[in-house]
A = this chain, B = another copy of it.
Amino acid sequence: MNQARRDVFQAISDPTRREIIHLLARRTLNLNNVADHFTISRPAVAKHIRILTECGLVTVQTRGRETFCQADLKGLKQVSEWANTYQEFWNDKLDALERFLDEDPSDENR
């Protein structure tokens, strides 16, 4: 659990980490506040947060005895772009133009 350069795809593969991301996207929390949302132990949550920091999705900032965890999810752009590369597989009426226009975030389906 000490990979120097962590891959963002690997980081988001764990559902607990995705939930941590969801939590921190709302607001910054200290470590215990994050851990309170889960049934797993506080050290387990700390390990997940370390993984998230290793790929840049979370930054931590110590103030006093507290460690504040903040989401910085620019790295998810890479994930979105990668998945959208294959948009034609779920977007039936594809022509090149529409595919180009759909690059803009106005997807309202579902």
Which A residues contact B (CB, under 8 angstroms)? 7, 9-10, 12-15, 18-19, 21-23, 25-26, 37-39, 71-74, 76-77, 79-87, 89-91, 99, 103, 105, 107-110
Contact = CB atoms under 8 A, between A and B. Distances in A.
Best-buried of A13, A18, A71 by chain B (most CB within 10 Å): A13
Contacts of A79: 79, 83
* Copies of this subunit: 2
Contact of A74 (B25, B85, B89): B89
B26 A15 contact: no
Contacts of A77: 83, 87, 89-90
A106 B22 CA distance: 11
